[in-house]
Structure 1
Amino acid sequence: MRTPPRTKGRLPYNMAALWRTCRRRFPGPSRLCRTGRAFGSGENEYDLVVVGGGSGGLACAKEASQFGKKVAVLDYVDPSPKGTKWGLGGTCVNVGCIPKKLMHQAALLGGLLKDAQRYGWNTSHPISHDWSTLAKAVQNYVKSLNWGHRVQLQDKRVKYFNLKGCFLDAHTIRAVGKGSKEVSCLVSHQVICLSASVGSNLGLRIISGAREYGITSDDLFWLKKSPGKTLVVGASYVSLECAGFLTGLGLDATVMMRSIPLRGFDQQMASLVTDYMEAHGTRFLKKCSPTKVKKTDHGRLRVTWKFAESGKEKSDEFDTVMWAVGRAPDTKTLNLEVAGVKTNAETGKILVDARETTSVPHIYAIGDITEGRPELTPTAIAAGKCLARRLFGQSAELMDYDNVPTTVFTPLEYGCVGLSEETATDRFGSENIEVYHAFYKPLEFTVAEREAAQCYIKMVCLRQEEQRILGLHFIGPNAGEVIQGFALGIKCGATYSQMMKTVGIHPTCAEEVTKLHITKRSGADPTVTGC
């Protein structure tokens, strides 16, 4: 089956032209299933049904189809409380990694335009940013990815249904769409893969006006107009990333944190991230909790908050209030109790073993919806592929969740792989841990005269023999690109002595990792001087 024509290896960017092309190539309603359409004339038995069209579910479905299995994907996105809707691909594609990174890049470009003057470029005219231009470009690209996923499923002969799935029993899935239309399918080989979406968790019913007037990151990425002066409530990476690029785009952004930033990450690194943001224009309200949101007569939002230590209240007006207080698994609508699938009563996430098996032997779960798994797109994709190979390809390989690298795309990026210093200390004891560290200044910051006080590298090692590396943490430009390269070595058990034998590429930021020699234990100044 042929796919729509591609331009330089990519889907055509113009969505209208792409739609017209695909309609010509794939005529008739039977090609792309629509809401309420049956699973086929009596052919409603599948080897694998994936509930949820996120990264993990799509990867699992496509991999299973490679083994000649009959596969279906059910995916239906309930609009956010503000009515925001999106297409196939899950959180990452629509309201996560992709739009976030593009808006982060837009903010970085604004900083580079300011640097350009010191590098001799004439940028004397006022620099301004147009939100609607950025939003339209980002949203069009996301839509092209939505369509691309549909085409890929069709190429792999995977049935896609824009329907919401839930259990009728342990072997039957019910799928419901608009207009109360519903169909059901039987999983003949007793294999059901859950990759259900994770919805935004406001959890703010006790705060007056929170749901009525607030938005989430799901809505932020699809706004047509600038959010203006914005309050971002939360201390998660989503909160800091969004506040960071809003500030970088020239908007007034404030972060309200009840507790510590970037919980679960190395806290020294988290403090450096927020210090940099604060020094570069993002306002922080620390140890504060909002108590009410009220719309004023002139249309702005007046937010009142309380300081945890003093109990005093204060308020200010904002154009937009965004809640970034976490996401909750959308498991209640799955009717899991009918199938016998157990969840964590506190988190609502599905309990699985090392083989991604739930409490029901023929039902599996992968991705963000599972308890104790990192909420990361690459891990969900890898887990989905591994699962399909075990089920249909005679593979015994399990997904390895150790030493998974990740990056927080704040204005000064933070990338890491392995254990934080706190976790390593708790696990092995401080006397058995050696921490090498360095404050460095990227060469590109020098001519631009940028502040680099928070550019920092930390390597956590065991204090025995060749000192196996337990964790690597990097704050600086292109942190994700730097950590990705070192992640392979750490995954393979790299040691400090091996790292010191690695020749760095000069002059780069990543090179500084191969030159770490000052330990925290020594108390010596870790500031890098000279080449």
Structure 2
Amino acid sequence: MAALCRGRHRWKRINILNVFTRSLTGKFDYDLLVIGGGSGGLSCSKEAAQLGQKVAVLDYVEPSAKGTKWGLGGTCVNVGCIPKKLMHQAALLGTAVKDAKKYGWQISETVSHDWATMAEAIQNHVRSLNWGHRVQLQDKKVKYLNLKGSLVDEHTVRGLTKAGKGTILTAKNIVIATGGRPNYPTNIPGAMEHGITSDDIFWLKKSPGKTLVVGASYVALECAGFLTGIGLDTTVMVRSIALRGFDRQMAGLVTDYMEAYGTSFAWKSIPKRVEKLSSGALQVTWTDTQTGREHKDTYDSVLWAVGRAPETKTLGLDKLGVELNEESGKIVVGADESTSVPNIYAFGDIGEGRPELTPTAVKAGKLLARRLAGQSTEVMNYDNVPTTVFTPLEYGCVGLSEEEAETRHGKDGIEVYHAFYKPLEFTVAERDAGQCYIKVVCERGGDQKILGLHFTGPNAGEVTQGFSMGLQCGATYSHLLQTVGIHPSCAEEVVKINITKRSGLDPTVTGC
């Protein structure tokens, strides 16, 4: 205890000396110090360095509850977008192999999937990205520090090594870009002891086998989709609704396709406990909230996808008076990413009300760096940000959902154009296209400005990306009609769309 007290007094003396020295010299170790080495933090730091700022990045990954850890690059690179998309691609290739027979390919042997081969290749790619980020920081003269950072004051950060050795760093401005981590439910016995999260699934050496995915966010559905696609028995347990925050009709199409694709759904169900049997299997007990009945089944893996929590607890924000949203735990930020404390900024997933998307964090980080360097006054525009859910049938969207448009403009103030279409690729393969659908939500009056665009089908991300620029430019329905489509493509169905929901006519596309 005496040693601990001496340690505290030593840090106090260092902090006082540090502040005193700064007040005399007016100098800092860095112009900008970024806490968090994810996509946003790296983007911000590299941009600042390019503009002549002296910059350091602190990044430290706390292992998951299962001990999974990874390198520089944050969630997207290590346990998010990149490995997710690659495993989604593995699943798409499995579907393509089935389609190939209809196209004349002679595939004589039984096709099976090997998890270890896929996982090793993806993990090696992620490691190459980790190394690439370190090289980029070095090339751009950004100091990379593998330290766990916490704030001492508005210009000072304490960094801790894995061994517990402390370092004091000062900066004119401090940026927090620590992102978030998956939640475990705290009221379900065995949840953490026997379950995994998205922090673990991409780094498993062995197949997860028969898997229960608890949750219905895009993370849950994407994971369930690629697990089903590579041939694993997969069930999604849904407490209330799927894809909360997305268009309701589109969410239903996504889950309908997944059920037809082979994923099982336990709707309106709440898990009660997870127990490990002597056989090694995990027995899950849950309640059907519609009937009140209790059910049990066994699984090889239980994947919790029940939300994410911001990485704010260890930053010392409360001592500095940085305002947090009490409910979400996220940092309250202004339009310029400023916090309630001068010289401290925050952006990305950790910011209250910000979309939890890599591209927005990357762009917001660059713009923040330019403003802090005095090179720009431009702030991030968070309107009409496109995104795609990489489920077996991909869902891309930009702008307002139909529900949001109704709330803002009234049911009589919007016009919804829609179409069910069949991708040409599905025809020979005899695949069901019942959930391939396009919806364009417009203002009803005037030029019929497009408020939102929604698309389910192959390559949804590629389709949505192009149309998202149109929304940024104020596209109208007449602009769509003036656009020449590329034939034959799925994207051309968007510019051909002409049936309104209000008309009650059949929106099924027939012919060219």
Task: State whether TM-score is above 0.5.
Answer: yes
Q: Work out the CA distance in 2 between the residues paired with 1:339 and 1:156.
A: 31
| Deviation digits for residues 77-109 of structure 1 (CA, Å, limit 9, x no counterpart) | 000000000010010000000000000000000
Which of residues 176, 180, 187 is equivalent to 1:194? 176
Indicate the residue corresponding to 2:237 in structure 1: 256
Question: What SS class does the counterpart of residue 238 from structure 1 fall into?
Answer: helix
Listed as ranges, the matches of 1:493-504 within 5 Å are: 493-504=474-485
Amino acid at match of 1:461: C
Structure 2 residue matching 1:129: 3-state secondary structure: coil
**Which of 446, 461, 486 is equivalent to 2:427?**
446
Percent of aligned positions that are identical: 69
User: Any idea what the Cα deviations from partners look like across 1:28-76, whole Å, max 9, x if unmatched?
Assistant: xxxxxxxxxxxxxx99711000000011111000000012111000000
C-alpha distance in structure 2 between counterparts of 1:345 and 1:490, whole Å: 34
Match of 1:149 in 2: 133
Residues 354-393 of structure 1: matches in 2 within 5 Å? 354-393=335-374
**Secondary structure of the structure 2 residue equivalent to 1:136:** helix
2:504 to 520, 523, 527: 523
Q: Which residue of 1 aligns with 2:39?
A: 55
Show the counterpart of 1:174.
158
1:161-310 correspondence runs (5 A) = 161-187=145-171, 189=172, 191-202=173-184, 204-310=185-291
Question: In the alignment, does 2:472 pair up with 1:488?
Answer: no
Give 1:118's aligned residue: 102
Is 1:426 aligned to 2:407, yes or no?
A: yes
Equivalent in the alignment of 1:132: 116
The match for 1:88 is 72
Partner of 2:62: 78
Alpha-carbon distance change, 44 to 77 in structure 1, aligned in 2, over 3 angstroms:
farther
Q: Aligned residue for 1:403?
A: 384
Q: 2:6 — aligned with what?
A: none
CA RMSD of superposed structures (Å): 1.0
Residue type of the alignment partner of 1:342: E
What letter corresponds to residue 76 of structure 2 in structure 1? C
Distance in 1 between residues matched to 2:430 and 2:117, nearest whole Å: 30
Pair 1:102 & 2:102 matched: no
Q: Distance in 1 between matches of 2:162 and 2:55?
A: 23
Q: Is the 8 A contact 1:53 1:197 kept in 2?
A: no
Give the aligned partner of residue 326 of structure 2: 345
Unaligned runs of 5+ in 2: 1-21
CA distance in 1, matches of 2:449, 2:402: 14
Partner of 2:48: 64
Deviation at 1:488, TM superposition (A): 0.5
Q: Report the secondary structure of 2:265's partner residue.
A: strand
Deviation (angstroms), 1:509: 0.2
Residue 312 of structure 1, CA deviation: 0.8
Contact in 2 for aligned 1:44/1:184 (Cα 8 Å): no
Q: Is the 8 A contact 1:436 1:518 kept in 2?
A: yes
Q: How big is the shift at 1:200?
A: 1.5
Q: Which amino acid aligns with 2:108?
A: S
The answer on whether the counterparts of 2:442 and 2:449 sit within 8 Å (CA) in structure 1 is: yes
- 1:17 paired residue number: none
Identify the match of residue 144 of structure 2 among 151, 160, 167: 160
For the 8 Å contact 1:329–1:369, the answer to whether it is kept is: yes
Return the alpha-carbon distance in structure 1 between the equivalents of residues 28 and 503 of structure 2: 68
How many Å separate the matches in 2 of 1:505 and 1:171?
Answer: 54
1:15-40 alpha-carbon deviations (Å, 9 max, x no partner): xxxxxxxxxxxxxxxxxxxxxxxxxx
Contact 1:170 1:340 in 2 (8 A): no
User: Quick check: 303-312 or 447-456, which moved more?
Assistant: 303-312
Pair 1:331 & 2:315 matched: no
Native 8 Å contact 1:170 1:338 kept in 2: no
Q: Which runs of 5+ in 1 are unaligned?
A: 1-41
Aligned length: 487
Aligned equivalents of 1:164 and 1:53: distance in 2? Answer: 11
For residue 466 of structure 1, report the CA deviation from its aligned partner: 1.6
Provide the rounded CA distance (Å) in 1 between the counterparts of 2:86 and 2:454. 23
Letter in 2 for 1:476: G
**Structure 1: how far apart are the matches of 2:83 and 2:303?**
16
2:485 counterpart letter in structure 1: G
The one-letter amino acid of 1:271's match is G
> Equivalents in 2 of 1:198, 1:298: separation in Å?
35
Deviations along 1:119-173, one digit per CA (max 9) or x if unpaired, are: 0000121000000000000000000000100000000110001110001122210
Q: Counterpart of 2:205 in 1: which secondary structure?
A: coil
Distance in 2, Cα, partners of 1:162 & 1:180: 12
Output the TM-score relative to the length of structure 2. 0.94
CA contact (8 A) 2:222 2:390 kept: yes
| 1:393 Cα deviation after fit | 3.7
TM-score when normalising by structure 1: 0.91
d(CA) in 2 for partners of 1:124, 1:138: 28
Write the distance in 2 (CA, Å) between the matches of 1:142 and 1:159.
Answer: 22
Letter in 2 for 1:365: A
